[in-house]
Amino acid sequence: MSAENTTRTQVGIVGAGPAGLVLGQLLHLQGVESVILEARDRDYVEGRVRAGVLEQGTVDLLVEMGVGERLQREGLVHHGVELRFGGRGHRIPFDELTDGRGITIYGQQEVVKDLIAARLEAGAPLLFEVEDVMPEGIDSDQPSLRYRHDGQERELRCDVIAGCDGFHGVCRPAVPDGVLTAREHIYPFGWLGILAEVEPSSDELIYCHHDRGFALHSMRSPQLTRLYLQCEPDEDIANWPDERIWEELQIRFECEGWSLKEGPIVEKGVTPMRSFVAEPMQHGRLLLAGDAVHIVPATGAKGLNLAVADVRVMAEALVKWFSTGDETLLQSYSETCLGRVWAAQHFAWWMTTMFHRHPSDEDGFMARLQRAQLDYVCSSRAAATTLAENYVGLKKVSGG
């Protein structure tokens, strides 16, 4: 590799999703150099509509990092959530149950736009449309990332590689066989999600349990409603013309004195439900974060928040190492993160199991258990607090 095609940095970050961008910004603020390599182009990354529920801790961190100005102006702060079952709504007041904490609705693509703008304004390197990224030398103290950019083969030498490249990225597979243990749970259903140009029908999210399956009312802005319906994991979206989607949503959300507003559907898609964790989250000089190493079903709204929580731990560990040579935090990175990861996995699994119709539940046994659990959550302060404190994000997790 010629000298002009070889560069050096302290941290080579693969992926400009929430994990990679938050990490880059945290490191930049502490004077640690990094280069972010992203496979897609900027428009694609900034237009990718995914998560939208930010935990209190995520919002606080983004504000502290100096990227929260638009979030605070445009984000919708929610102090509670509605659980709807048996045709009746029950509100869980987050603020009362968690000392004033709440969630903020602000699209993942908006978080990503704000972070990219901050990175480019700081003049920190972020390369889009990078091809064939390959982590090398992760077992040595001189790892590197080989990649192609603008038709040129290049090499980025670094002290450590941060694999923030999502579930289908190249970093997790770069770990030698036998090092990682992967645990996975595939749910026998998926979510059919739509984005509709219509004012939300409620000020807060509605999680709905119904004999025909789960439904969720959410929003992205005062003009955009996000709605989900439980469906088959391999559901063919072609079987769901807009009229059928609205008809089914109206049935599942039916509640006296409330109506679901309809509008043009501008986006629709099917997402399977999966839980996945690979551990440890590090090997040699490679540290993995976010979807690159764990996936949660969207029911608990934890995916983006967990990605941010991982890189917060990673940034602190790297800053300590670069500034003092002390490796303690770096060595315990995986162990520190996994406490929160498994707590979030449990919460997402619990919410998923409590709300979704189970295909094998022929005599309705599971449905009766779900109703008993929902009644308990809505009538016991202790049970409601469990849901509320997990939903807004646990402050401290054992090991985390």
Ligand X SMILES: Cc1cc2nc3c(=O)[nH]c(=O)nc-3n(C[C@H](O)[C@H](O)[C@H](O)COP(=O)(O)OP(=O)(O)OC[C@H]3O[C@@H](n4cnc5c(N)ncnc54)[C@H](O)[C@@H]3O)c2cc1C
Instruction: Give the closest residue to 133 by CA, choosing from 22, 32, 260, 35.
Output: 35
Size of the site for ligand X (CB under 6 A): 34
The set of residues, in sequence order, having a beta carbon less than 8 Å from that of 363 and lying 6+ positions away, is none
Pairing of strands 206-208, 265-279: unpaired
Residue of 10, 29, 50, 246 interacting with ligand X (CB under 6 A): 50
Six token digits for residue 206: 């509605």
170 binds ligand X (CB under 6 A): yes
Binding mask 238-277 for ligand X (x = CB under 6 A): ---------------------------------x------
Residues 72-111 that bind ligand X (CB under 6 A): 108
Binding mask 108-147 for ligand X (x = CB under 6 A): x---------------------x--x--------------
Quick one: 40 or 146, whose CB is closer to ligand X? 40
Quick one: 7 or 325, whose CB is closer to ligand X? 7
Per DSSP, 267 falls in state E
Nearest approach, Cβ of residue 164 and ligand X (Å):
5
Quick one: 43 or 363, whose CB is closer to ligand X? 43
User: Could you identify the residue written with the tokens 């004195």?
Assistant: 257
In terms of Cβ atoms closer than 10 Å to its own Cβ (0-12, 13-18, 19+), residue 241 is exposed
Nearest approach, Cβ of residue 363 and ligand X (Å):
32
Sheet holding 103-105, edge to edge: 53-55, 103-105, 76-78
Helix 303-324 vs helix 18-29: angle between axes, to the nearest 10 degrees?
A: 30
371 binds ligand X (CB under 6 A): no
17 binds ligand X (CB under 6 A): yes
Please give the torsion angle defined by the CA atoms of residues 218, 341, 57 and 375, in that order, rounded to the nearest 10 degrees.
Answer: 50
The footprint of ligand X (CB under 6 A) covers: 14-20, 37-40, 45, 50-53, 108, 130, 133, 164-166, 169-170, 271, 290-292, 298, 301-304, 307
